[in-house]
């Protein structure tokens, strides 16, 4: 035996790379599926490009005023032409209005949704749970125009009642002050309608997360003599917290982008209004719909810019929300 032959088994052979040459049909298949998979990227990219392309001129001429001023005026000169010099486009009032109604929706809708999710996950008998989950999922499929009409004809009345009550007893809080005695079609009522609209989303996400609460930890809490509430506080809430925050943000994103329902129930007034019970407000989406009908091509470009701002805003909120939701459960384990 020579020394070389004994050395060969001692040396670790390099790892072989396993390669296959995919068949033609598989390459076509993967190509088609991948191109389909990339469609979301393409569509989101195209939305960004087209809105930017159309809104660019407005953003350039208006500059930062587009975000900070609350003046919307498409001026027309003596010859009936558009007068870009004297036209002013700013969406500050609508941006603030968007946040105001969305935040009202979240403040009212989230406790109800999370409470409902807790009931469905930890308290409801099986039969009740099935029916309620179906009902709430069905509500998620209701058209927004239906929520708008329902808000206008039904919720408005009780909303006014609560608005009057709030303004009577809590007018020392700046938000609840009424500058004039008009409470119909206020941001408060729009917020109520949006709260109802986000309940299905936030409830189903919260339910999903609560239902993943590790059983062994729940049992440990019960075995230590904890009540159900004590178990929830020690085990379920810490486990679900970040996921619920994500769910809330998804609800916020939905509330920010809502058009028709807000348009129906809100008195859209082009001024910054922090008095949520007062009959004036707006949001970017419903403003676009309101102005679109009689807008000149020049003004439509400004509306495109407003749409771009709304798109980016909801994209940021939703992306953050999804990041938070998808991280739940990976930590804390």
Partner 1 sequence: MSTIEKVPTPPPRKPWAPTPIDRAKTAGILAAAIIVSLAVLFVTPLSGKLAFAAVFFVAYLSIDFVVSFAKAGRAAAVDSVFRGLVTTAIAIAVMPIISILVTVWVRGHHGLHWTLFTKDMHSNSFTDPVGQGGLLHAIIGTFLLVFVAMIISVPIGILTALYLTEVRGRFTRPIEFLVQAMSGVPSIVAGLFIYAAILIPFTKTVNGIQGSLALAILMIPTVARTSQEVLKLIPEDLREAGVALGGTQWRSVALVVVPAARSGLITAMILGVARVAGETAPILLLTGGSGTKNYNVFSGSLGSLPNYVWQAFSAGTPESITRAWAGILVLLVIVVILFTAARVLGNRKVGKK
Partner 2 sequence: MALESEENQGDEMETTAAKNSLSDITAARLQKQPGNSALGVGLEARGVHAWFGEKHALSNVSLDFWPGTVTALIGPSGCGKSTFIRTLNRMHEFIPTAAMAGEVLLNGEDIYAPGVDVTKIRLKVGMVFQKPNPFPSMTIAENVLAGLKLAQLKVENKDDLLEECLERAGLWSEVKDRLNTHGGALSGGQQQRLCIARALAVRPQVLLMDEPCSALDPGSTLRIEETISQLSSTVTIVIVTHNMQQAARVSDYTAFFLSDGGPGQMIEVGSTNEIFSRPKDERTENYVTGRFG
Q: Which is nearer to partner 2, 150 or 222 (CB)?
A: 222
Q: Which is nearer to partner 2, 108 or 235 (CB)?
A: 235
Backbone phi, then psi, for 72, in 5-degree steps? -125, 105
Euclidean distance between CA atoms 144 and 274, whole angstroms: 25
Least distance (Å) between residue 312 CB and partner 2: 35
Least distance (Å) between residue 234 CB and partner 2: 6
Q: Binds 126, which of partner 2, partner 1, none (CB < 5 to 8 A, cut-off by type)?
A: partner 2
Q: Which is nearer to partner 2, 48 or 124 (CB)?
A: 124
Q: Which is nearer to partner 2, 81 or 227 (CB)?
A: 227
Least distance (Å) between residue 126 CB and partner 2: 7
Q: Which is nearer to partner 2, 118 or 231 (CB)?
A: 231
String of b and e for 112-137 (b: at least 16 CB within 10 Å)? ebbebbbebbbebeeeeeeeebeebe
Q: Binds 106, which of partner 1, partner 2, none (CB < 5 to 8 A, cut-off by type)?
A: none
Least distance (Å) between residue 119 CB and partner 2: 16
The DSSP string of 7-67 is: HHHHSPPPPPPP-----HHHHHHHHHHHHHHTHHHHHHHHHHHHHHHHHHHHHHHHTTHHH
Q: Which is nearer to partner 1, 26 or 73 (CB)?
A: 26
For 19, 242, 295, the CA distances from 315, given in Å and listed in that order, are 40, 19, 26
Least distance (Å) between residue 221 CB and partner 2: 6
SS3 74: coil
Q: Binds 244, which of partner 2, partner 1, none (CB < 5 to 8 A, cut-off by type)?
A: none
Comparing C-alpha atoms, which of 128, 126, 121, 152 is closest to residue 244? Answer: 121
**Which residues of this protein are in contact with partner 2, per CB under 8 A?**
126, 214, 216-217, 219-227, 230-231, 234-235, 238-239, 332-333
Quote the tokens at residue 269: 């007034």
Q: Binds 38, which of partner 1, partner 2, none (CB < 5 to 8 A, cut-off by type)?
A: partner 1
Least distance (Å) between residue 108 CB and partner 2: 29
Least distance (Å) between residue 116 CB and partner 1: 4
Least distance (Å) between residue 205 CB and partner 1: 12
Do the Cβ atoms of 299 and 291 come closer than 8 Å? yes
Q: Binds 79, which of partner 1, partner 2, none (CB < 5 to 8 A, cut-off by type)?
A: none
Q: Which is nearer to partner 2, 60 or 233 (CB)?
A: 233
Euclidean distance between CA atoms 297 and 168, whole angstroms: 46
Q: Binds 75, which of partner 2, partner 1, none (CB < 5 to 8 A, cut-off by type)?
A: none
The contacts of residue 307 (CB under 8 Å, 6+ apart) are: 51, 55, 284, 288
**Number of CB atoms found within 10 A of residue 222's CB:** 14
CA dihedral 307, 309, 312, 314 (to 10 degrees): -70
Comparing C-alpha atoms, which of 208, 206, 211, 213 is closest to residue 247? Answer: 206
Euclidean distance between CA atoms 259 and 70, whole angstroms: 19
Q: Binds 239, which of partner 1, partner 2, none (CB < 5 to 8 A, cut-off by type)?
A: partner 2
Q: Which is nearer to partner 2, 127 or 141 (CB)?
A: 127
Scanning the structure block, which residue is given the tokens 């609209």? 197
């Amino acid at each position: 035996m020579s020394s070389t032959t004994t050395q060969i088994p001692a040396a670790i052979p390099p790892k072989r790379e396993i390669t296959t040459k995919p068949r033609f049909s598989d390459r076509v298949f993967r190509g088609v599926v991948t191109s389909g998979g990339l469609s979301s990227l393409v569509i989101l990219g195209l939305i960004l490009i087209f809105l930017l392309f159309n809104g660019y001129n407005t953003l350039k001429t208006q500059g930062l005023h587009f975000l900070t001023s609350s003046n919307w005026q498409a001026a027309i000169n003596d010859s009936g032409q558009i007068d870009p010099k004297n036209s002013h486009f700013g969406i500050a009032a609508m941006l603030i209005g968007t946040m105001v109604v969305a935040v009202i929706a979240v403040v009212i809708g989230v406790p109800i949704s999370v409470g409902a999710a807790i009931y469905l996950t930890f308290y409801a008998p099986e039969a009740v749970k099935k029916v309620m989950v179906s009902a709430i999922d069905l509500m998620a499929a209701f058209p927004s125009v239906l929520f708008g009409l329902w808000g206008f004809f039904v919720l408005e009345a009780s909303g006014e009642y609560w608005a009057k009550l709030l303004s009577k007893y809590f007018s020392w809080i700046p938000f609840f002050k009424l500058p004039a005695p008009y409470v119909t079609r206020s941001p408060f009522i729009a917020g109520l309608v949006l709260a109802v609209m986000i309940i299905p989303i936030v409830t189903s996400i919260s339910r999903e997360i609560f239902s993943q609460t590790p059983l062994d930890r729940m049992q440990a809490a019960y075995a230590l003599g904890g009540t159900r509430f004590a178990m929830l506080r020690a085990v379920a809430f810490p486990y679900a917290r970040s996921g619920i925050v994500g769910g809330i943000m998804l609800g916020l994103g939905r509330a920010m982008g809502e058009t028709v329902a807000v348009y129906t129930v809100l008195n859209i007034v082009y001024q910054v209004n922090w008095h949520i019970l007062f009959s004036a407000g707006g949001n970017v989406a419903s403003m676009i719909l309101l102005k679109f009908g009689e807008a000149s091509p020049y003004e439509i470009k400004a509306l495109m810019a407003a749409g771009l701002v709304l798109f980016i805003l909801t994209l940021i909120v939703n992306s953050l929300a999804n990041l938070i939701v998808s991280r739940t459960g990976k930590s804390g384990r």
